[in-house]
Amino acid sequence: MKIISWNVNGIRAVERKGELESFLSSQSPDVLLIQETKATPDKLSKNLLENQDYVSFYHSAEKAGYSGTSIWVSRKIETELSWLPGLPGYEDNEGRVARIDFAGLSILGVYFPNGGKSADAWDDKLVFYRCFLDYVNQLRLDGRKVVWAGDVNCAHEEIDIARPKENKKSIGFLPEERAWVTDVIENSWDDVYRKKYPDSVIYSWWHLISKARARNVGWRIDYFFVDSALYPLVTEINYLNDQMGSDHCPVSLNINL
């Protein structure tokens, strides 16, 4: 199974640029996890709602033009799907968690809060982190195979950020956030890319205004995590740095499920 996660920074914009069509044509994922759709279904084109090759599900934010997640599943996968948006114990009115179930497998696409707008937003980010880890831990306890991915809005270690010293006090690289990612790993959720490539320097997000992508001054804040028991089934993971259309690049995982 080929699963790709991509923060598109506006699904209508990436479609308008022609990047979504070229991406789907070249990559052909079995499952596509999309973050930051920034649209409600009534604002989407027929292609985004009724794509000939994919069944799509949307979990939109209540606020127009903000946040939102979506999952696209290839029509070649002929099995019963269950769509479960939201996060138990957390008021997910920003469309941050999308989940699809295939029998005993749960795949989640997540757009974690940034937390930088205010003190309340920061506190909310930490609450979200705790609720989400409890959620996936419970799914595993329930006997489900779990894969989750998305924009975690945190660079875990210094290798994951181009300028760690300059950003020690920046949202996305603060000790509390980084400690949470460590806690995730200690709960037997493997950061697939970092486990497979412990010394590789690669980024998934670049600041648009400063044209940081051209200089590759970036952050690795987009991840795939799998239950440690599933890690041996992973065959490949890649950051698709050449894919344009967003300030994030897609992350692609191949796993034998």
Helix boundaries (H) for 142-257: 175-186, 192-196, 212-215
Positions in the chain short of pLDDT 70: none
- Please check whether residue 36 is in contact with residue 7, taking contact to mean a CB–CB distance below 8 angstroms: yes
| Average pLDDT taken over every residue of the chain | 96
- What are the residue boundaries of the structural domains of the chain, listed by start? 2-255
Which numeric CATH code is attached to 2-255? 3.60.10.10
Q: Which two tokens stand for residue 73?
A: 């599943």
Residue owning tokens 């948006």: 85
Grouping H, G, I as helix, E, B as strand and the rest as coil, residue 171 is: coil
How many Cα atoms occupy the beta-carbon half-sphere of 100 within 13 Å?
A: 25
Q: Give the per-residue pLDDT at 79.
A: 86
- Please check whether residue 186 is in contact with residue 168, taking contact to mean a CB–CB distance below 8 angstroms: no
92 has catalytic annotation: no
- Please check whether residue 67 is in contact with residue 96, taking contact to mean a CB–CB distance below 8 angstroms: yes
Q: Give the per-residue pLDDT at 185.
A: 98
Q: Give the per-residue pLDDT at 73.
A: 97
Model confidence pLDDT, tens digit, residues 126-157: 999 999 999 999 999 999 999 999 999 999 99
Q: Which two tokens stand for residue 187?
A: 């709960």
Q: Give the per-residue pLDDT at 208.
A: 86
Residues whose CB is less than 8 angstroms from the CB of residue 100 and which lie 6 or more positions away in sequence, other chains included: 31, 57, 71, 73, 81, 82, 83, 84, 106, 107
Q: Give the per-residue pLDDT at 98.
A: 98
Residues written for the chain = 257
Residues linked to residue 233 through DSSP beta bridges, in sequence order: none
Give me the amino acid identity at 173.
Answer: F
Q: Give the per-residue pLDDT at 103.
A: 87
Catalytic residue, candidates 151, 190, 222, 227? 151
Q: Give the per-residue pLDDT at 158.
A: 98
Q: Give the per-residue pLDDT at 204.
A: 98
Q: Give the per-residue pLDDT at 202.
A: 98
Give me the amino acid identity at 187.
Answer: N
Q: Which two tokens stand for residue 1?
A: 């199974």
Q: Which two tokens stand for residue 148?
A: 């989750």
Q: Give the per-residue pLDDT at 162.
A: 97
Per-residue burial over 191-211, b = 16 or more CB atoms within 10 Å of its CB, e = otherwise:
bbbbeeeeeeebbbbbeeeee
